[in-house]
């Protein structure tokens, strides 16, 4: 057994409370980690006489749980800054043929780069929605990379099965046979899905979207996932108004109605985006326990709309944060995503927040619509709940030792001593000085312990040339 003692923490936020009350916050605090679990948390006075194999002085650091990214497409960092000004369906149809050239070696390269970006920005657990599998690509590869990087990983076996010839959006070259998809999902579950406490790998079943799969696949995917303990379901929904038009024309109902018709509302389901939910659909999410991922940067980058995150939280919907793919966001920074999410809710359209009787604000915006602590709760506890976990996303005895720390002695944080936790959102984005995942230090004093940045950048550049050639 190994022990690590983080002592003299200037500002510690545990996030052991609720979205409205984030929970315990301490100054001059300590955390004792034994192997992969947090053993003790409290003021420094409670640690008198404590010894450990390793002691790290966290004076002038703000410490919080590692963040949980609940929606991403790792492979997209090969197609950054492309299709900058077109609507989503044009964006997709432009990129599908390029993504069709990706092979498994490229998937390895992109997964490593994406995970490193996330870890540097304070993310210790990530899901990835890999819905395109060309040229014998497998989900085994990013799972292996996560194990090498030391990242906690929920690997979502995505899929597209409805090509253009069947009335779908993607080209036929990008889709798979539905029975092959289901067989592979079953194989991945049997091989990797781990329901133990502090598990590092779990599998998610994740058909891509209403416009790229059939109702039959959605139904069979739900049945497959629910035949196994703790396998959750994930997809895109209500991301763009064109999707609502598509669902009305093809299915005769809105996208949420389609999801309900195929058994895709429930406590084991979370959707990315959910921008265009109406009042009744928000209530349906709350009543069924269906969750949603807020991806503010991608929503703004693609000009989609503003998710009703404030109203969804108030209605009892679990909402987490996601950076989304590196071609629709172009960065993978969780602090930046938290900042954008909070700010975007404060300028949300009046019809969402303030143009109702008893609304929160007046014409022109709602300055208190979402606080820094609420958005960080979404990035920690909210994300953990979407993934079906109560062992991550908070700092408390018995929880996984996923802990991040940011040094306050830097230019962007000068003058933030009154509220250093809020400063991580309001003054960000930042890189972490320390990141512990499952008790293992993967970042120390801003340096990776398991990742060679220069080698990875060189590999990525060569991969980019090869794929585009």
Helix (H, G, I), strand (E, B) or coil at 255: helix
178-192 and 140-149 helices cross at what angle (nearest 10)? 30
- What pLDDT score does 89 carry? 84
What residue ranges define each of the domains in the chain, with the CATH number in brackets? 3-65+393-448 (2.30.40.10)
Q: Are 91 and 145 in contact (CB under 8 A)?
A: no
Mean per-residue pLDDT over the chain, rounded: 93
Q: Mind listing the pLDDT tens digit for each residue in 33-75?
A: 999 999 999 999 999 999 999 999 999 999 999 999 999 999 9
Give the mean pLDDT of 447-451.
96
| Mean pLDDT in residue range 446-456 | 96
Per-residue confidence (pLDDT) for residue 357, from 0 to 100? 43
Confidence class for position 351, pLDDT limits 50, 70, 90: very low
Question: What is the 8-class DSSP label of residue 391?
Answer: S
Summarize the confidence of residues 8-20 as an average pLDDT.
Answer: 93
| 96 against 373, higher pLDDT | 373
Strand order across the beta sheet in which 25-26 lies: 25-26, 11-13, 61-65, 403-407, 434-437, 440-444, 447-448
pLDDT confidence of 366, banded at 50, 70, 90?
Answer: low
Task: State the pLDDT at residue 360.
Answer: 43
Question: Biggest alpha carbon distance in the chain?
Answer: 71
Q: Which band of pLDDT confidence, cut at 50, 70 and 90, is reported for residue 85?
A: confident
pLDDT of 180 over the 50 cut: yes
* pLDDT bracket for residue 332 (50, 70, 90): very high
Rounded-to-integer distance, Cα 301 and Cα 310, Å: 20
Cβ pair 404, 64 in contact under 8 A: yes
Q: Which among 248, 227, 423, 242 has a CA at the least distance from the CA of 342?
A: 423
Q: Contact 239/272 with Cβ under 8 angstroms? A: yes
> What pLDDT does residue 365 have?
53
Beta strands in 144-267 (DSSP E): 152-159, 201-207, 232-237
Q: How confident is the model at residue 229 (pLDDT cuts 50, 70, 90)?
A: very high
Q: Is the dihedral of CA 355, 270, 293, 184 positive or negative?
A: negative
- Planar angle of CA 209, 389, 309, nearest 5 degrees: 55
What's the predicted TM-score (pTM) here?
Answer: 0.95
Across residues 113-129, what is the average pLDDT?
98
The pLDDT of residue 358 is above 60: no
Count of CB atoms situated within 10 Å of the CB of 227: 10
DSSP 8-state secondary structure symbol assigned to residue 66: P
CA pair distance 273, 240, nearest whole angstrom: 9
- The pLDDT of 319-343, averaged and rounded, is 95
- The C-alpha atoms of residue 466 and residue 234 are separated, in whole angstroms, by 31
H/E stretch holding 274? none
Asked whether residue 407 carries a pLDDT value surpassing 70, the answer given is yes
Residue pair 114/322 in contact (Cβ under 8 Å)? The answer is: no
């Amino acid at each position: 057994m190994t022990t690590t003692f983080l002592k003299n923490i200037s500002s510690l936020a545990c996030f052991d409370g609720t979205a409205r009350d984030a929970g315990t916050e301490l100054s001059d605090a300590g955390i004792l980690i034994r192997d992969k679990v947090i053993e003790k948390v409290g003021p420094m006075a409670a640690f008198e006489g404590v010894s450990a194999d390793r002691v790290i002085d966290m004076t002038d650091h703000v410490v919080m749980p590692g963040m949980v990214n609940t929606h991403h497409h790792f492979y997209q960092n090969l197609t950054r800054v492309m299709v900058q000004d077109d609507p989503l369906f044009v964006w997709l149809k432009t990129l599908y043929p390029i993504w069709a050239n990706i092979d498994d070696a490229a998937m390895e390269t992109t997964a490593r780069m994406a995970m490193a970006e996330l870890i540097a920005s304070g993310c210790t657990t990530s899901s990835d929605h890999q819905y395109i599998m060309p040229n014998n690509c497998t989900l085994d590869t990013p799972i292996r990379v996560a194990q090498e990087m030391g990242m906690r990983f929920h690997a979502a076996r995505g899929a597209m099965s409805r090509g253009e010839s069947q009335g779908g959006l993607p080209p036929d070259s990008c889709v798979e046979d539905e029975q092959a998809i289901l067989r592979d999902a079953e194989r991945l579950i049997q091989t990797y899905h781990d329901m133990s406490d502090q598990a590092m790998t779990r599998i998610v079943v994740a058909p891509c979207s209403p416009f790229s799969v059939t109702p039959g696949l959605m139904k069979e995917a739900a049945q497959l996932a629910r035949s196994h303990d703790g396998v959750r379901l994930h997809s895109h929904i209500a991301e763009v108004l064109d999707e609502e038009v598509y669902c009305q024309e093809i299915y005769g109902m809105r996208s949420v109605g389609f999801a309900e018709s195929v058994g895709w509302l429930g406590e084991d389901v979370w959707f990315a985006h959910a921008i265009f939910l109406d009042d009744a659909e928000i209530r349906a999410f709350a009543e069924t326990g269906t969750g949603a991922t807020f991806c503010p940067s991608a929503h703004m980058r693609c000009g989609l709309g503003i998710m009703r995150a404030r109203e969804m939280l108030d209605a009892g919907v679990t909402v987490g944060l996601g950076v989304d793919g590196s071609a629709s966001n172009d960065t993978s920074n969780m602090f930046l995503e938290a900042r954008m999410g909070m700010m975007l809710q404060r300028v949300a359209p009046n019809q969402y927040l303030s143009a109702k009787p008893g609304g929160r604000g007046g014409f022109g915006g709602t300055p208190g619509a979402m606080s820094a602590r609420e958005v960080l709760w979404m990035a920690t506890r909210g994300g953990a709940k979407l993934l079906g976990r109560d062992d991550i996303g908070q700092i408390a005895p018995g929880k996984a030792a996923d802990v991040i720390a940011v040094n306050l002695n830097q230019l962007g944080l000068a003058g933030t001593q009154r509220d250093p936790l809020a400063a991580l959102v309001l003054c960000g984005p930042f890189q972490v000085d320390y990141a512990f995942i499952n008790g293992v230090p993967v970042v120390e004093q801003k340096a990776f312990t398991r990742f060679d940045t220069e080698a990875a950048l060189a590999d990525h550049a060569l991969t980019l040339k090869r794929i585009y050639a």
